[in-house]
């Protein structure tokens, strides 16, 4: 049985409002891409993102988020995860170094609707394996954009994303997945980047008006992750391998799919 009961179907107007929020997210990610370089403290990324989101009249979605494993609400407006950090890194005093890779995840609510996207950036020159990790993770997200269409079930798309990653010799993180999105950052359904028997009861139809944040998280080694910091936020790969994270907010339409975080 497909779980459709709790998925909130959006109208054209609501998708357009989500696209407006997505535009703010893209402006932040573009601006941060311009300033990322060796020597930059990660706190500076948060400061700049905060400034841009406020100026646009938006609200940063991540600040204040609670999680049962964390001792404090998330203290920043973007997640900044460096090298072996997979997601939910807290920006701070760490200084970016030549050859690092840095993932920035940004969510914004504007006029009551949310947009959510992430990118992994190279800091200066990176090694070939890190570049391949970025390319493959982005390719997995591109597959989701190409393959999402009305009339399909999500598992068909997830399988293709997983194959892309695993054929490259990389790992698909299981513990963290994408999500429905709309008036809330996290809505039903869960949107995994893999498919196995454990997911059988959780598949869902891609119906027009379904809006989802698709976010492959990929490790260069094994896919297992652990919590790293003392406050219970930063997720790292268990084997210390580097990780990449790309995300778009997508809307299924009558005709196919729209990327609500493409900046248009």
List residues binding Mg ion (CB under 5 A).
105, 116, 118, 213, 247
Closer residue to Mg ion, CB minimum distance, 37 or 67: 67
C-beta of 118 vs 220, nearer to Mg ion:
118
At its nearest, how many Å lie between Mg ion and the CB of residue 116? Answer: 4
In contact, 91 and 182? CB cutoff 8 Å: no
Taking the complex as a whole, how short is the minimal distance between the CB of residue 17 and Mg ion, in angstroms?
18
* Residue closer to Mg ion (CB basis): 100 or 116: 116
CA–CA separation, 10 vs 18, rounded Å?
A: 10
Closest CA to 81 of 249, 179, 225: 225
User: To the nearest whole angstrom, how small is the minimum distance from the Cβ of residue 243 to Mg ion?
Assistant: 14
CB nearer to Mg ion: pick between 73 and 240 = 73
Q: Do residues 261 and 241 touch, judged by C-beta distance below 8 A?
A: no
**Nearer residue to Mg ion within complex by CB, 63 or 97:** 63
CB 224 within 8 A of CB 179: no
Query: Closest by alpha carbon to 30, among 96, 95, 121?
Result: 121
Cα of 189 vs its chain's centroid, Å: 15
CB of 186 to Mg ion, least distance (A): 8
Q: In 3-state terms, what secondary structure has residue 47?
A: helix
Minimal distance, residue 247 CB to Mg ion, in Å: 5
Say how far apart CA 195 and CA 170 lie, in whole Å: 16
What is the 3-state secondary structure of 78-100?
EEEEECCEEECCCCCCCECCCCC
């Amino acid at each position: 049985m497909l779980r459709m009961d709790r998925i909130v179907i959006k109208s054209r107007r609501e998708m357009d409002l989500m696209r407006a929020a997505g535009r703010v997210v893209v402006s932040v990610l573009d601006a941060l891409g311009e300033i990322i370089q060796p020597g930059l403290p990660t706190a500076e990324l948060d400061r700049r993102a905060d400034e841009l989101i406020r100026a646009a009249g938006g609200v940063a979605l991540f600040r204040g988020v609670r999680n049962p494993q964390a001792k404090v609400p998330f203290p920043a407006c973007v997640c900044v995860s460096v090298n072996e950090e997979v997601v939910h890194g807290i920006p701070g005093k760490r200084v970016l170094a030549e050859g690092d890779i840095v993932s920035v995840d940004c969510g914004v609510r504007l006029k009551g609707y949310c947009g959510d996207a992430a990118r992994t950036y190279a800091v200066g020159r990176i090694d070939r394996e890190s570049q391949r990790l970025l390319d493959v993770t982005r390719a997995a997200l591109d597959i989701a954009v190409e393959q999402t269409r009305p009339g399909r079930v999500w598992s068909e798309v997830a399988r293709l994303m997983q194959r892309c990653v695993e054929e490259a010799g990389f790992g698909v993180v299981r513990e963290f997945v994408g999500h429905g999105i709309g008036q809330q950052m996290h809505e039903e359904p869960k949107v995994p980047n893999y498919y196995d028997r454990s997911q059988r009861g959780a598949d869902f139809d891609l119906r027009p008006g379904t809006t989802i944040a698709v976010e492959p998280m990929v490790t260069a080694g094994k896919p297992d992750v652990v919590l790293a910091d003392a406050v219970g936020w930063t997720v790292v790969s268990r084997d210390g391998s580097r990780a990449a994270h790309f995300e778009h907010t997508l809307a299924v339409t009558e005709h196919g799919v729209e990327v609500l975080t493409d900046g248009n």
